[in-house]
Amino acid sequence: MKRLLVALCALTIPVIPSVSHAQATELPCPKYHALMREHGLPVRQMAWIMARESACEPRAVGWNYYAGKGPQDCPSGAYHPHRNCAAVKSHDVGLFQINSRAWDILVVQLCGHNTKSRILMKPSCNVKVAAAIYKRYGLEPWKGNSNG
């Protein structure tokens, strides 16, 4: 009986795969490291920021709502219900989640289109804008806010 109990316990303990030291210290978003270097971004710091902001997904969009508003206040059924929703204050786009309200003029200057276009979903534009922001403000714009 004791052997059976030990065998059953062994079956219920999850197997955790071993991870080498090299794998544990690998930087996320390796596909974009060269692009970050090209624009003068510190890859070691910015790769982690990119992973946190967009999970390395260039088409990521985050919606920011006015106080007391949320996705439930946007009509459903439209192609993109949040795009023209009055509850939306701004949106964050692309790899580094560039904010539409804060950086629209910079995006026009660097990429030739405003933040209402899909230009920030292109890694080349998103990283270029992030580099300009970083060169002027450092990591401050990516430190988060009091909303959680």
- Domains of the chain: residue spans and CATH: 29-137 (1.10.530)
DSSP string, 32-96: GHHHHHHTT--HHHHHHHHHHHHTT-TT-EEEEE-TT--GGGS-SSSSSTTTT-TTEEEEEETTT
Q: Write the CA distances from 41 to 34, 58, 68, 105, 130, integer angstroms.
A: 10, 17, 36, 21, 8
Q: Is 145 a residue whose pLDDT tops 50?
A: yes
Assess whether pLDDT exceeds 50 at residue 87.
yes
CB distance 47 to 28 below 8 Å: yes
pLDDT at res. 61: 94
* Average pLDDT over all residues of the chain: 84
- Specify the long-range contacts of residues 7-15, CB closer than 8 Å, at least 24 apart: none
In whole angstroms, what is the distance from residue 102 CA to residue 120 CA?
A: 13
Band (pLDDT 50/70/90 cuts) for residue 148 is very low
Q: Which band of pLDDT confidence, cut at 50, 70 and 90, is reported for residue 13? A: very low
Task: Please compute the mean of the pLDDT values over residues 82-93 and round it to a whole number.
Answer: 89
3-class secondary-structure state, position 99: strand
pLDDT of 7 over the 60 cut: no
